[in-house]
């Protein structure tokens, strides 16, 4: 019994688990204000401790009235500012959902500057109320009043600095360009992690291989948000076998789809309980950016699709996102940190992400919705040409396939023969299978 308990504790306090929990905490607006509020209360009582020190003639004499006047002004102003901050943040969140996509909401709500500003305003209000109440009840002596006065000035200066910085951020928060930048940063971060650990620390499962063993099915419907690799490794060791993952983060899980397959030692005496395997897969109602690079591509493609809708008619945003997607795929193809040691989870087999599926997530909606826009088609063909020169065979094949599809869609949607010819000329460059200086020199600008 000691082995599974120790494994459970190790899984509970692993770096990946803590990172996942901290990201969920960042998406809760009440956490930072609560923490800052508690700290502000302790700061008031910290000022009382200075009364235990011997009074110095070098310290200026601070009257009770001056401290109370400053605290009264702060208490009267901080709560309205905090309410104004909440209203501004809610407006920004609504704008992000309406102009970009509702899937971008977790990125906007986890903005550190806005959360820190709200925390500072609420913390200053709580500090001023508690300090004012203590001062009116003659809680402080000479040293305490000086310490409280100094803390009040520091809090006031911090609030002013935070407010000025937050005003600059709130002017951009929720705007379409800012939301696209946040989605790109989140997708780039998870792509770097997945590029450096393509199998999540496990053993690469060969493509098109058929997993053997007993299947384990989900007991609820939702998206796989996270896989506890340490729990899978501990289970495989306990049963003397291996585990093959069949549903990566981002996969839609339901009772009829196998999450994983496992094998066990035939000589094992005790029965195998696969419940630990099911619990290693965290399933929720929404996809998350944390371990799912494809979700970031989907979100960016959704933003471009909304921009290309007849109601919005903003091809410039779609063109910008095509460039963003090209940067992300170049990042994905850039050599990262390769693990020099053996896989951490040598009993867990993990399939690699399919580049063709990633291209489908990113470019198919844009090519479909932008088929009638020649400028979007031009940008797509140039992006496919550039990605085809990256040197990776899988990416080159995906780029050539989508260049053909984008051209075929445009030929069906465009009515002007000259526009179609422009895209055909660009597609001819994109469909070249080998990079060359002549191809780069001849690509139209």
Per-residue pLDDT of the chain (445 residues; tens, 9 = 90+): 334 444 444 445 566 677 777 777 766 777 878 888 888 888 888 888 877 766 666 667 778 888 889 889 888 988 888 888 888 888 877 877 777 888 887 888 777 788 888 888 888 888 888 888 888 888 888 788 888 888 889 989 999 898 888 888 887 777 888 889 999 999 999 999 999 888 888 999 888 787 788 899 988 899 999 999 999 999 999 888 899 999 999 999 988 889 999 988 887 767 778 888 888 999 998 899 888 999 999 999 999 999 999 888 899 999 999 999 999 999 998 876 655 556 888 899 999 999 999 999 999 999 999 999 999 999 999 999 999 888 688 899 999 999 999 999 999 999 999 999 999 988 887 776 445 444 454 555 5
Residue 346 contacts residue 386 (beta carbons within 8 Å)? no
CA–chain centroid gap for 290, Å, is 5
Go through 396-420 and write b for each residue having 16 or more CB atoms within 10 A of its CB, e for each that does not. bebbbebbebbbebbeebbeeeebb
Q: What pLDDT is attached to residue 50?
A: 79
Beta-carbon count within 10 A of 58 CB: 5
Q: What pLDDT is attached to residue 1?
A: 37
- Condensed to tens digits (0 to 9), the pLDDT of residues 157-179 reads 999 898 888 888 887 777 888 88
CA dihedral 271, 273, 274, 276 (to 10 degrees): -140
Alpha helical stretches, state H, 334-415: 355-369, 374-388, 393-413
Going by C-alpha positions, the residue among 58, 47, 32 that lies closest to residue 154 is 47
Q: What pLDDT is attached to residue 339?
A: 53
Q: What pLDDT is attached to residue 5?
A: 46
DSSP-based three-state secondary structure for 244: strand
Nearest-angstrom CA–CA distance, 369 and 373: 9
Q: What pLDDT is attached to residue 185?
A: 93
Q: What pLDDT is attached to residue 337?
A: 65
Q: Find all residues with CB under 8 Å of 55, minimum gap 6, and list them.
A: 142, 143
Strands 214-217 and 258-262 turn out to be antiparallel
């Amino acid at each position: 019994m000691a082995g599974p308990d120790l494994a459970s504790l190790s899984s509970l306090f692993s770096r990946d688990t803590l990172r996942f929990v901290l990201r969920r905490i960042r998406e809760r607006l009440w956490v930072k204000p609560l923490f800052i509020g508690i700290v502000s209360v302790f700061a008031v009582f910290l000022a009382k401790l200075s009364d235990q020190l011997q009074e110095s003639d070098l310290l200026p004499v601070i009257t009770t009235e001056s401290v109370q006047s400053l605290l009264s002004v702060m208490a009267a102003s901080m709560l309205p500012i905090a309410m104004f901050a909440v209203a501004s943040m809610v407006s920004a969140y609504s704008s992000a959902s309406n102009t970009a996509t509702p899937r971008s909401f977790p990125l906007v709500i986890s903005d550190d500057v806005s959360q820190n500003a709200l925390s500072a305003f609420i913390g200053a209000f709580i500090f001023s109320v508690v300090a004012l109440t203590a001062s009116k009840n003659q809680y402080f002596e000479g040293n305490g009043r000086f310490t409280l006065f100094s803390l009040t000035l520091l809090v006031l200066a911090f609030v002013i600095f935070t407010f000025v910085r937050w005003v600059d951020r709130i002017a951009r928060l929720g705007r379409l360009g800012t939301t696209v930048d946040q989605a790109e940063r989140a997708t780039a971060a998870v792509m770097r992690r997945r590029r450096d650990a393509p199998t999540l620390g496990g053993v690469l499962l060969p493509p098109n291989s058929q997993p053997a063993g007993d299947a384990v099915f989900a007991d609820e419907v939702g998206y796989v948000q996270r896989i506890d690799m340490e729990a899978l490794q501990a289970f495989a060791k306990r049963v003397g076998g291996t585990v093959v993952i069949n549903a990566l983060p981002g996969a839609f899980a339901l009772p009829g789809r196998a999450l994983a397959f496992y094998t066990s030692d035939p000589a094992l005496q005790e029965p195998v309980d696969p419940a630990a395997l099911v619990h290693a897969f965290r399933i929720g109602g929404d996809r998350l950016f944390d371990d799912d690079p494809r979700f970031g591509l989907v979100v960016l493609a959704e933003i471009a699709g909304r921009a290309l809708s007849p109601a919005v008619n903003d091809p410039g945003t779609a063109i910008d996102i095509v460039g963003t997607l090209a940067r992300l795929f170049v990042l994905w193809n850039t050599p990262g940190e390769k693990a020099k040691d053996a896989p951490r989870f040598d009993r867990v087999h993990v399939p690699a992400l399919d580049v063709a599926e990633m291209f489908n997530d990113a470019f198919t909606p844009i090519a479909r919705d932008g088929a009638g826009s020649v400028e979007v088609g031009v940008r797509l063909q140039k992006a496919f040409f550039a990605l085809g020169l990256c040197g990776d065979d899988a990416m080159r094949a995906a780029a050539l396939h989508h260049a053909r599809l984008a051209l075929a869609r445009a030929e069906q949607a465009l009515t002007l023969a000259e526009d179609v010819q422009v895209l055909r000329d660009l597609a001819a460059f994109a469909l070249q299978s080998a990079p060359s200086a002549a191809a780069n020199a001849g690509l139209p600008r």
